[in-house]
Amino acid sequence: MNELNLSIENVDPVVIWGANNENFEIFKKHFPKIKIVARGNGVKVLGDDKELNAFSAKFEEIIKHVDQFQSLSLKNLEQLLGASIQEINDSENVKTISNTGGEAIVFGPNGIVVKARTANQRKLVDSIGKNDIIFAIGPAGTGKTYTAVALAVRALKNKEIKRIILTRPAVEAGENLGFLPGDLKEKIDPYLRPLYDALDDMIPADKLKVFLENRTIEIAPLAFMRGRTLDNCFVILDEAQNATDLQLKMFLTRMGPTAKFIVTGDITQIDLPKKQQSGLNTALKILRQIKGIEIIYLNGDDVVRHKLVKNILRAYGDIQ
């Protein structure tokens, strides 16, 4: 058994370990194969080299976070560790969880760290550098849209692209909402709200407002894509299971020479009329062999919402 000694002299140990050592207990559960001894401004960790290196890397990220923001909420901690607190408390296979976090995709306001939290989310992050079109397919709560938006924001911040375009079909989820008041933006915004929610976590409100006003970030219904050429931009089609064959073909053929496309969808939640075929099912069948297009399937192991969401999806038969 080897020993690792770390110093936390530049930050408040109480912030690191939490009130009543709440965070310390989370560390112990997340790294069950090592022994952690915290005394004052020092931390002694005992274990094998692989586990010590994993702990050291995560602990360094957390120290940097606390040094920058002078705080460490439970949400921050779970983002930095790469697993939810509920998963850490409930999982018997903590080793799998601790190895899926990876590097941060983007840093949002108020100390939010956005990173891949599951193996398939990490696969999505790794794939974007190798492919220009990615299909991310999976049930509710698997982080398809959130991870895709994070990749788009990262590309914008790194000046790899000039614009982000986010779109989805304006299809109601089994309801008839009738006439919606207001101008065009006010009519379509309810359909696009999940995309705004993701952006709110990743871009400061004042900056996001400017990006939306000058169309650096554009959010629009799928119908508005017809006739356009989308180049030097990162384009996400969300809820693609509600696009028809013609709509999805139209969308994919908007792609300019230097664009990146991510298509997300859940084939178990199709809201089209019963006689209308989902274009996503067709696309997955006929495009899978084309080089430069990758299809990534997320499953129940990737659900990162409340633990009950996974149980609900299993009860409905959407996951095993």
SS (H, E, C) the chain: CEEEEEECCCCCHHHHHCHHHHHHHHHHHHCCCCEEEEECCEEEEEECHHHHHHHHHHHHHHHHHHHHHCCCCHHHHHHHHCCCHHHHHHCCCHHHHHCCCCCEEEECHHHCEEECCCHHHHHHHHHCCCCCEEEEECCCCCCHHHHHHHHHHHHHHCCCCCEEEEEECCCCCCCCCCCCCCCHHHHHHHHHHHHHHHHHCCCCHHHHHHHHHCCCEEEEEHHHHCCCCECCEEEEECCHHHCCHHHHHHHHCCECCCCEEEEEECCCCCCCCCCCCCHHHHHHHHCCCCCCEEEEECCHHHCCCCHHHHHHHHHCCCCC
Q: What is the pLDDT of residue 133?
A: 97
Task: Pick the more confident residue, 86 or 95.
Answer: 86
Task: Pick the more confident residue, 125 or 189.
Answer: 125
Poorest-confidence range of 29-38, 136-145, 184-193? 184-193
Q: What is the pLDDT of residue 23?
A: 85
Q: pLDDT band at 9, cuts 50/70/90?
A: confident
pLDDT tens across 280-315, in order? 999 999 999 999 999 999 988 888 877 788 889 889
Q: pLDDT band at 187, cuts 50/70/90?
A: low
pLDDT tens across 228-244, in order? 999 999 999 999 999 99
91's tokens: 């999982």
This prediction's pTM: 0.68
Round to whole Å and give the CA distance between 115 and 101.
7
Q: What is the pLDDT of residue 99?
A: 38
Residue 83: burial class (beta carbons within 10 Å; 0-12, 13-18, 19+): buried
* Res. 223: pLDDT tops 80: yes
* Res. 227: pLDDT tops 80: yes
Percentage of the chain surpassing pLDDT 90? 40
Q: What is the pLDDT of residue 171?
A: 64
Q: What is the pLDDT of residue 95?
A: 33
Q: Please give the domain boundaries of the chain with CATH numbers for all domains.
A: 2-99 (3.30.1370.10), 115-315 (3.40.50.300)
Q: What is the pLDDT of residue 94?
A: 32
pLDDT tens across 45-84, in order? 898 888 888 888 888 888 888 888 788 887 778 778 876 5
* Res. 129: pLDDT tops 80: yes
